[in-house]
Structures are given as structure tokens and as C-alpha cells.
Amino acid sequence: MLLTMLSDGRLHLSGIGKLAPHLTVANRATLLAQATHKSKRQIQVLVADLAPRPDVPASIRKLPGRAATVAVAAVAPVAPIAIPSDPCLELGPDRVPAAPSAPSLRQVDGRSTRPDVDPLGSGRFKVQFTASAAFCEKLERLKALMLSSVPDGDLAQVLETAVTEALRRREARRFAKTNTPGKTLADVDTAASSSRYIPAPVRRISHTSEEGRCGFVSSGGRRCRSLHRLEFHHVVPWARGGDRSPDNIRLMCRTHNAHLAAKDYGEVVMARFRRIHRPPGR
């Protein structure tokens, strides 16, 4: 069963490696059906639900000095991504290049200090990362200020409260998400305009309807669902008279927004646009 699913693309080797120790004659049909076309992280969550692990204790400890114990691994240069010239080719969700990053590969006492999120069971994750001394000091100050609401100083609750508040502020600024909106859709003009400005109610509706993720769907029916570098896309292009109504504004990641723009205007026009708006020195 595993070899058949591997050959037709329903499962990948990483997923098989996670699932194999937990497969039995009784659960194999159900478990493999749940794992079909799932990412490695999604399969890790599935396995954690099957064999939950206990909660890990909250702790903050000082790591050894970097100069004596840290070895930095060489990172190979990333090859440029080739953009197909054939306008009929479509960029599927599984081909969206990841945002450029340089993940830490440092080793401390033989253990990787790369940030880690590990599923422990249903709705529970172990989160591990290396923080600076300044971050730890700020965390202690935050715990002191939150003693009335978090008397035991639980790190998970303190960090969740801080992240929730930061997320609320940023989504309010970017996507106009708020519990007390000043204007509704009926209060704004959504007709075509010479301005690219998208009214706050329209941004709010688009973000909610797309669940805060890229709404691009490939020809095969797969949705992108990326959270990174989200932009607002005009279904009927703005330069061709597209209005600002919720039906015409979609949430897209930058890669798929650029892909659809190339389909609308042509790759030659978009290449010229990128040259004009390229930052100095790039």
C-alpha cells in the first residue's frame, strides 16, 4: 500500500517514515486515507494525535558562549528560480518558492539551536528557540506586569497573550480587522477609481472570506493557502477598470499575485514594470 501511494504521489518518503511505526492492519486504511496529500508537518500532527506525548516543562536556561562552542555550517547559494516563458503554464501552489531565508544551523553542545515546533498531541505543540538576553529580560518584565491575569507566570500563556495582542494590532493595520469597525461596506464607494486604495471594509471582508490565506487555486483544484507576503489582487485588473468591490478583490501571496498579473498584462509588460520599480542597487 505504501509503495503504491508513493508511486502515484499520494504520500512522500518523509511522511511514510513518520507513519510506518504506527501502522497496523486495523488502522492502515483510515490512517493512510487521512495522510493522503498531506505535508510532513500535517502528518506529524496526525501521528502526535495517535501517540500523544506529555507536556514539556517551561524553562529558560543560559546557553554556553558562542565563541567557544558554536560552529556555523556553510550554506550553499540558492540558484535563481526560472520563470517559464510559456503563458499557458500555470504556477501551482506546490511550486510557490519559499521566502528567502537563512535558517540558523548553529550547534550548541551537539544540539541544534534552530527554532523548533514539535506536535505533542491534539492541539498541543512543543516550541523551542534561542533568545537573546534582552528578550529574556523583556519576558520577565512582561510576566511581572501580567501577575494579576497569569498568577503562576506560565510562559505559554504569557507568550500567547503577547502574540495575540501583536497579531491583533498588525492585522488591524494591514487588513482593517477590528471588533468595532468605523465603517461598513454600505458606507464606502467601491466603484472603479483612479486610486489603488482599497476601502477598509473591503479589505476586512476579503481577509475574512479567504481565512487570512492566499486564495489562489490551481487548474487541478489545489489551493495555495500561504500566509506569507499577502497582497490584494484585482480579479478584473485595476488598470482595466476593475472596481474595488469584495467580489473583485482577492487575497493572494506575492508570487501568485505576480503570476496572475503576468497572465493579465503579459510577461513583457511585467518585466518592464519590475525594472522601473526595482530598488536602487538591485
CA distance 109 to 84: 45
Give mean pLDDT, residues 223-246: 92
Phi, psi (deg, nearest 5) at residue 153 = 65, 30
Residue 208: count other Cβ atoms within 10 Å of its Cβ. Answer: 13
Q: The cell 489603488 sits on which residue?
A: 196
The answer to whether residue 23 scores a pLDDT higher than 70 is yes
Q: Which three cell numbers stand for residue 278?
A: 526595482
User: Looking at domain 185-276, which CATH architecture does it have?
Assistant: Orthogonal Bundle (1.10)
Reported as half-sphere exposure (CB side, CA atoms, 13 A), residue 120 has a value of 12
Single out the residue of 126, 104, 111, 145 nearest to residue 45, CA to CA.
Answer: 126
CA distance 103 to 93: 23
The answer to whether residue 36 scores a pLDDT higher than 70 is yes
* pLDDT for residue 271: 78
Domain edges within the chain: 2-50, 185-276
For the ranges 8-12, 76-80, 218-222, the lowest mean pLDDT is seen at 76-80
- Condensed to tens digits (0 to 9), the pLDDT of residues 176-234 reads 998 888 889 999 999 999 998 999 999 999 999 999 999 999 888 889 989 999 999 99
pLDDT class for 115, splitting at 50, 70, 90? low
Three-class HEC string of 201-243: HHHHHHHHHCCCCCCCECCCCCECCCCCCEEEEECCCHHHCCC
